[in-house]
């Protein structure tokens, strides 16, 4: 399917829709349940991806209880189970008759592999009328970045979001900065690439953006100002336009890699950009299971992006 | 659109234009070897100038190269070079396809091959375009292009109708890439069996057949021309960065070095050792091609004293060129940084009266000389040094040489080691130690620690110059040895940071991870202990050999270190090796010496890597290494 439109959606309107399918996740963060608890979401088909590990974590137990009580069917997955997620979504979507579908995905606590698999399924689907996916994200209260940094374990293309090109023109590397120190370091030299940086501006919280700036100081000073962009997580639509504008501008002169190291909503934008524009590679940069579990509370803000596929 | 330079991105030739490369190209003896009429394996770590050389072999590189040497070389070069690029993004894309097509091994190989073929054909088109543009006039340019383009369209089964020009052929080949991508995508989710997948005919074209037929067509087309084009009878396929090509291609290209077609030469660039072990199939491959008989190895790193001498000459030329371009004739590097003589640090660090008088002494080892004081002082604070002197019949309280030959056999040999030990031991005993010890300075040291890597030398030079202070007239002040040492240690630290952050520097063994940074630190700390902490000896161990007890994944990290120039292959004997790194000798890149506070020198007494790990790493890590 192709992306028809990408629009910011008022979270207060989430309860106005009858969803054909709701997909959430249960892990060690308390905010897993925030969106389901806050908005009266209506659907006859509700599923929850639960992490196979951290089952004894307190917040996790509470989340599982909540989702079961609310009628969610819980499916346990490993954090990098891409094909299992893909197959499950296929089974569920195949059951629906061919009409416009409305699907809500709360990816606040999903791994990047999980929500990229959902998106990949719809990217490859070609026998549907139209599908609207409401990608919901609950912002977390600020917690400082961990002092000891785990080194990157996974650095490479995300399955289904990597193209093929010939090495006749240079690589442009669009990095989405996060607040974990050094996560993005080494990539520019590794790929011999021209770097471009995206990071959240202070409208999403001064503490977070200051920490992003402090922990990426070297990169931010090495890259020229014209190659640095800021965005707001709560205005994903605008961020998406800026990102796709840049990618369209770079295509032809460069082969583009998007490397989101930062917040999940930016990763989502990268994946969507790759669905919209052919030949953009999206890379996963992560410390994998080495990252220590931290219970993050919702800060009360929700950002929703409505993506329509035809 | 520009970025401030980081340490290693100053001079990557990959994406520079031919004009830019030719403008700063410095002729070397390795280039002289490379233009010879034989197959070549150009070996060196990242940043050593391999891509620059390959690109300078091409018609466009040679076209832009000016000067007497250029004219002479252009007359002698016996082939036309076709430069075939590769890069990490492409490598990772091909790997991803392989992973996606895990269930279709036959189709996966076909897909990998057709992608390689398209890349090579694009390179052929680019070369033909250069040849025609350089050697045509305004009257025959278009007809020359059209004539050869028609032949390529027919030979390569390019979709008709395609206009007979190079751009249209390129676009058609790029369309093939899109078609291949779509074919792969459909196949991945088709549920078909590996043997049932139908592919277009061009999926099965052999890249070498396609290149040979295109080159013959080119020769035939222009043999009656009254231009340089009529003289072409030999071609060189120049594959850059063999180590990141798919394994099947690496093996094929190495086997082509045996010489398949007399009119096609192969010029391959690669890391300092080509391992014939395949990680995926766990097989050791054999090859028929033999060094010297079938191909020549050209090493482009500092593996012996002669290369070190040559590098200093090259380094001087490169830094002069760089400074000339940036500042005109204003800067004399020798005046700014001075020499690297250890005396400069020792006189600063010794607490002795009459320093000026001491420096004026012509004999360096007589009573009351600088090193007389140093040896005397060191033997009071370091028992093992005292014992060492006594062992050589030298009185620690009055360390004068007992004979003239002893000056050479002992004093000259140990003066740097003793100086390092004195300054670093003294530093350790201070309550408040300085962040940087003044041991890393001088123009020769700059060349030494850039370790044969032009990109690194330029990075170092730029970093130093940009941190200098200006006098009232706006000229750079000369750098003190303290300032130089501080800046150089910072750069050395950056090198370690880059190792720590390299995306492929982490390997998982079971559910544990081991990082290249840990390995490098274990090696460096071992050498520091050997040189500075343990009993004083004239020849502390600071090279290592890789032994077979080590886990293969771990070996991959060492191979990566070699590719990145973090470790340097010394006394190279084998270029292509079935056993890979095993039993080969290595040292750390000299740029790491300031970080570990060790001397940039080898003593030809290698230690086994397993011994280093047994003494420097925790038991849990050791288990991983030897598993």
* Residues B22-55: tens digit of each pLDDT: 999 999 999 999 999 999 999 999 989 999 999 9
Q: Is A68 on the interface with B (CB under 8 A)?
A: no
8 Å CB contact between A244 and A277: yes
Whole-angstrom Cα distance, residue B41 to residue A108?
Answer: 52
Give the pLDDT mean for B431-446: 84
Amino acid B579: pLDDT? 83
Q: What confidence score (pLDDT) does residue A146 get?
A: 76
Q: What is the pTM of this model?
A: 0.89
B163 token code pair:
């206009």
Mind listing the pLDDT tens digit for each residue in B464-480? Answer: 988 888 888 778 889 99
Q: How many CA atoms lie within 13 A of B437 on its CB side?
A: 24
Closest CA to B444 of B467, B422, B460: B460
Task: Return all residues near A284 (Cβ < 8 A) that are at least 6 apart.
Answer: A112, A113, A154, A155, A156, A157, A158
- Asked whether the beta carbons of residue A152 and residue B100 sit closer than 8 angstroms, the reply is no
pLDDT, position B240: 94
* Token couple for A239: 């961020």
Residue of chain A whose Cα is closest to the Cα of B86: A167
Residue carrying structure tokens 């009459």 = B354
Do residue B185 and residue A167 have CB atoms under 8 angstroms apart? Answer: no
How far is residue B374's CA from residue B358's CA, in Å, rounded to a whole number?
12
Specify whether the CB–CB gap between A23 and A289 falls below 8 A: no
Query: Tens digit of pLDDT for each residue in B484-510?
Result: 999 999 999 989 988 988 989 988 777
Show Cβ contacts of residue B278 under 8 Å, excluding neighbours closer than 6 positions: B247, B284, B285
- CA B99 – CA A215 distance, rounded (Å): 34
Q: Identify all chain B residues contacting A215, using CB atoms and an 8 Å cutoff.
A: none
A214 interfaces chain B, CB cutoff of 8 Å:
no
The answer to whether the Cβ–Cβ distance between B3 and A223 falls below 8 Å is yes
Over residues B297-310, the mean pLDDT reads 94
DSSP track, B346-389: HHHH---S-HHHHHH-S-SSSTTSHHHHHHHHHHHH-HHHHHHH
Paired residues of A46 in beta bridges: A22
Residue A54 has which token pair? 């951290």
Q: From its phi and psi, is residue B191 left (phi > 0), alpha (psi between -120 and 50) or beta?
A: left
Mean pLDDT, residues B75-79: 94
Contact, A139 vs A161, CB < 8 A? no
**Could you read off the pLDDT tens digit of each residue along chain A, which spans 310 residues?**
999 999 999 999 999 999 999 999 999 899 999 999 999 899 999 999 999 887 778 888 899 999 999 999 999 999 888 889 999 999 999 999 888 999 999 999 999 999 999 999 999 888 778 999 999 999 998 888 877 667 777 888 998 898 889 998 999 999 999 888 777 878 888 898 999 999 998 776 778 888 899 889 888 988 999 999 999 999 999 999 999 999 999 998 999 999 999 899 999 999 999 999 988 999 988 876 656 778 889 999 999 999 999 9
**Could you tell me if B286 lies within 8 Å of chain A, comparing CB atoms?**
no
Is B512 an 8 Å CB contact of chain A? no
For A85-121, letters b (16+ CB in 10 Å) and e give: bbebbeebbeeeeeeebbbbbbbbbbbbbbbbbbbbb
Q: pLDDT tens digit string along B267-296? A: 999 999 988 876 666 777 778 888 888 999
User: Which tens digit of pLDDT belongs to each residue from A53-77?
Assistant: 877 788 888 999 999 999 999 999 9
Token readout for B183 is: 């074919």
Kindly state whether A24 is in contact with chain B, defined as any CB-CB distance less than 8 angstroms. no
- pLDDT of the residue at B5: 46
A289: exposed, middle or buried (Cβ count in 10 Å: 0-12, 13-18, 19+): middle
Distance from CA of A301 to the nearest CA of B (A): 34
| Strands A298-309 and A131-140, sheet pairing | antiparallel
| pLDDT for position A144 | 83
pLDDT band of B224, cuts 50, 70, 90: confident
């Amino acid at each position: 399917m192709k992306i028809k439109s990408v629009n910011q959606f008022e979270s207060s309107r989430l309860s106005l829709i009858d969803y054909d399918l709701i997909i959430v996740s249960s892990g060690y963060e308390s905010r897993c349940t925030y969106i389901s608890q806050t908005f009266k979401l209506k659907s006859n088909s509700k599923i929850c991806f639960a992490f196979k590990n951290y089952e004894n974590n307190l917040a996790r137990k509470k989340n599982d209880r909540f989702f079961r009580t609310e009628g969610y069917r819980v499916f346990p997955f490993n954090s990098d189970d891409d094909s299992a997620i893909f197959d499950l979504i296929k089974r569920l979507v195949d059951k629906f008759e061919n009409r416009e579908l409305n699907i809500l995905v709360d990816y606040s606590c999903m791994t990047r592999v999980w929500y990229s698999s959902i998106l990949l399924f719809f990217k490859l689907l070609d026998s549907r009328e139209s599908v609207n996916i409401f990608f919901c994200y609950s912002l977390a209260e600020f917690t400082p970045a961990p002092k000891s940094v785990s080194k990157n374990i996974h650095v490479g293309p995300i399955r289904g979001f990597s193209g093929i090109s010939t090495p006749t023109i240079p690589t442009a590397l669009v990095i989405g900065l996060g607040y974990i120190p050094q996560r993005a370091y080494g990539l520019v030299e590794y790929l011999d690439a021209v770097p471009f940086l995206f990071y959240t501006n202070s409208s999403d919280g001064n503490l977070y953006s200051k920490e992003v700036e402090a922990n990426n100081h070297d990169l931010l000073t090495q890259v020229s100002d014209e190659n640095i962009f800021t965005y707001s997580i709560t205005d994903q639509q605008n961020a998406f336009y800026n990102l796709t504008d840049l990618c369209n501008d770079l295509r032809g002169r460069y082969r583009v890699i998007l490397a989101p190291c930062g917040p999940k909503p930016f990763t989502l934008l990268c994946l969507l950009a790759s669905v919209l524009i052919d030949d953009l590679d999206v890379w996963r940069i992560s410390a994998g299971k080495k990252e220590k579990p931290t219970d993050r509370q919702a800060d009360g803000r929700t950002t929703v992006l409505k993506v329509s596929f035809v | 659109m520009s970025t401030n330079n980081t340490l290693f991105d100053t001079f990557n030739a990959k994406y520079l234009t031919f004009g830019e490369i030719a403008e700063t190209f410095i002729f070397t003896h390795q280039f002289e070897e490379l233009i010879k009429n034989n197959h070549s394996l150009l070996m060196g770590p990242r940043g050593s100038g391999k891509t620059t050389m390959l690109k300078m072999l091409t018609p466009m590189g040679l076209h832009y190269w000016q000067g007497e040497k250029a004219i002479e070389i252009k007359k002698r070069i016996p082939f036309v070079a076709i430069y075939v690029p590769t890069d990490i993004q492409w490598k990772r894309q091909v790997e991803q396809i392989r992973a996606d097509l895990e269930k279709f091994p036959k189709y996966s190989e076909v897909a990998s091959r057709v992608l390689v073929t398209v890349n090579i054909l694009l390179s052929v088109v680019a070369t033909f375009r250069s040849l025609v543009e350089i050697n045509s006039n305004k009257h025959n340019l278009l007809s020359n292009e059209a004539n050869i383009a028609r032949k390529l369209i027919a030979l390569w089964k390019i979709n008709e109708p395609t206009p007979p020009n190079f751009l249209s052929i390129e676009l058609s080949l790029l369309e093939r890439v899109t078609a291949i991508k779509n074919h792969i995508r459909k196949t991945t989710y088709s549920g078909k069996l590996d043997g049932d997948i139908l592919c277009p005919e061009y999926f099965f074209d052999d890249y070498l057949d396609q290149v040979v037929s295109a080159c013959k067509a080119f020769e035939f087309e222009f043999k009656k021309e009254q231009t340089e084009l009529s003289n072409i009878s030999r071609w060189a396929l120049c594959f850059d960065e063999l180590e990141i090509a798919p394994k099947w291609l690496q093996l094929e290209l190495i086997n082509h070095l045996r010489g398949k077609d007399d009119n096609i030469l192969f010029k391959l660039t690669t890391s300092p050792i080509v391992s014939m072990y395949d990680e995926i199939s766990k097989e050791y491959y054999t090859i028929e091609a033999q060094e010297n008989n079938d191909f020549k190895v050209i090493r482009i790193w500092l593996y012996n004293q002669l290369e070190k001498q040559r590098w200093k000459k090259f380094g001087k030329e490169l830094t002069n060129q760089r400074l000339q371009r940036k500042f005109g004739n204003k800067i004399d590097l020798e005046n700014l940084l001075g020499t690297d003589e250890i005396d400069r640090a020792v006189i600063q660090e010794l607490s002795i009266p009459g320093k000026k008088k001491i420096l004026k002494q012509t004999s360096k080892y007589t009573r009351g000389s600088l090193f007389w004081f140093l040896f005397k002082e060191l033997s009071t604070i370091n028992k093992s040094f005292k014992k060492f002197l006594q062992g050589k019949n030298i009185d620690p309280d009055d360390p004068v040489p007992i004979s003239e030959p002893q000056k050479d056999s002992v004093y000259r040999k140990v003066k740097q080691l003793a100086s390092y030990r004195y300054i670093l031991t003294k530093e350790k005993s201070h309550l408040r130690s300085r962040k940087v010890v003044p041991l890393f300075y001088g123009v020769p040291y700059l060349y030494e620690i850039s370790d044969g890597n032009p990109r690194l030398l330029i990075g170092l030079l730029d970093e130093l110059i940009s941190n200098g202070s200006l006098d009232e007239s706006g000229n750079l002040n000369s750098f003190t040895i303290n300032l130089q040492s501080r800046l150089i240690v910072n750069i050395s630290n950056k090198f370690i940071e880059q190792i720590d952050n390299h995306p492929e520097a982490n390997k998982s063994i079971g559910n544990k991870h081991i990082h290249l940074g840990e390995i490098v630190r274990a090696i460096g700390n071992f050498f520091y202990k050997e040189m500075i902490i343990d009993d004083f000896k004239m020849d502390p161990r600071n090279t290592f050999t890789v032994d077979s007890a080590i886990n293969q994944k771990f070996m991959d990290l060492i191979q990566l270190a070699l590719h990145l120039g973090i470790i340097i292959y010394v006394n190279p004997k084998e270029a292509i090796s079935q056993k890979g790194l095993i039993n080969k000798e290595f040292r750390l890149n000299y740029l790491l010496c300031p970080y570990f506070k060790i001397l940039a020198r080898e003593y030809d007494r290698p230690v086994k890597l397993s011994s280093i790990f047994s003494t420097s790493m925790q038991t849990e890590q050791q288990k991983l290494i030897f598993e």
